[in-house]
Amino acid sequence: MSKKNIELVLSPPEPHFVGDGFRVHNFIPGGYRLDMERMNPFILLDYGAKFYFPPSDRPLGVGVHPHRGFETVTIAYKGSVAHHDSTGQSGVIGEGDIQWMTAASGILHKEYHEKEFSRIGGEMQMVQLWVNLPAKFKMSQPKYQSITKEQIGKFSLPEDAGTVVVIAGEYGNIAGVATTFSPIHLFNVILNKNGIAPFSFPAAYNSALLVIEGKITVNGAEEVTTDHFALFQNEGEEFDIASEEGATVLIMSGEDIQEPIAAHGPFVMNTRQEILQAFEDYQKGKFGYLKD
């Protein structure tokens, strides 16, 4: 096995608001070659770095919007988010929880600060990933995986180095609770002081990490600090991350879905004609109905 080295490290882009409730840094798709094709199956990464929201009588968030052709994965580090959709599903994503929503053939969705969080205010810190679907699954039935922190398997690193929280894929003898339509590894890694964690992914997988808290060194050489994103080369298999003072790191690696990508707003399909069909179906009410 050979080393998988970092291709580039990115500082967080200028933040913008999604709706009035989510202040995010958009890493994917973005500049520096981080387009949908380069990072496939990870076709969007919005990172809501730690941000304080004052108390509000009206829950802030994002109103009703459609999705088709992919999955959304929402990871809550701080704060609490509520959601509703046109299939009748609803719930709350609390700290440490994951919402893995397969939009597939089409869904209407809205997300907003949970009522009690809105009332008292507090820090919000979230990641939302969009995960592409292979063409044969893009028009499958929508579904949810509502995953609480208690359900997620955890691997204890040797010598009290920390914990690998296995959301999807496998690490050590722990399998992720989330099911995926293509091979994906998604981990939250919590390193203790002077902790180190090794990883091994196929060379061709598109792999990256985002430092949520603290500062790490990759392969004993390259430093990545809080809120920074590191993209790995598609060469080599093995790398390690280490931290002198402790850190929390989101690690993602997935097999490239080698199919054309046609994307427009909330729709990600394979052809322009499929995008036009998505707009037509949405306008005809085929995604269902949901009040704003």
The domains located in the chain, with CATH, are: 6-254 (2.60.120.10)
CA 137 – CA 76 distance, rounded (Å): 27
Rounded Cα gap, residues 60 and 76, in angstroms: 16
From the DSSP assignment, how many helices (H) and strands (E) are in the chain? 3, 25
Cα 218 to Cα 124, 228, 247, 256: the distances in Å are 27, 13, 12, 23
Q: For the residues 144-152, what does the mean pLDDT come to?
A: 94
Assign 155 a pLDDT band (cuts: 50, 70, 90): very high
Instruction: Return the percentage of the chain with pLDDT > 70, whole number.
Output: 100
Q: How many CB atoms lie within 10 A of CB 53?
A: 19
Tokens of 252: 């993602």
pLDDT tens figures, 178-192:
999 999 999 999 999
- pLDDT > 90 fraction of the chain, expressed in percent and rounded: 93
The β-bridge partners of 251 are 187, 209
Confidence of residue 1 (pLDDT cuts 50, 70, 90): confident
Return the residue matching tokens 């850190």. 247
pLDDT at 90: 86
**Which amino acid, 12?**
P
Distance CA 145, CA 164 (A): 20
Contact present, 100 and 47 (Cβ < 8 Å) = no
Phi, psi at 29, each rounded to 5°: -75, 145
DSSP assignment string, 118-145: HHH-EEEEEEEEEEE--GGGTTS--EEE
Q: What is the pLDDT of residue 87?
A: 87
Res 31 pLDDT > 80:
no
What integer is the mean pLDDT of 274-281?
A: 98
Query: What's the pLDDT at 291?
Result: 82
What letter represents residue 283's amino acid?
A: Q
For tokens 């091994």, the residue is 200
**Omega prior to 29 cis, within 30 of 0:** yes
How confident is the model over 78-104, as pLDDT tens digits?
999 999 889 888 889 999 999 999 999
Is the model's pLDDT at 292 over the cut of 80? no
What burial class does residue 120 get, using C-beta atoms within 10 Å of its C-beta: 0-12 exposed, 13-18 middle, 19+ buried?
Answer: exposed
pLDDT of residue 48: 98
- Quote the CA–CA distance of 279 and 193 in Å, as a whole number: 51
Flag whether the pTM goes above 0.95.
yes
pLDDT in tens, 225-268: 999 999 999 999 999 999 999 999 999 999 999 999 999 999 99
Q: What is the pLDDT of residue 77?
A: 98
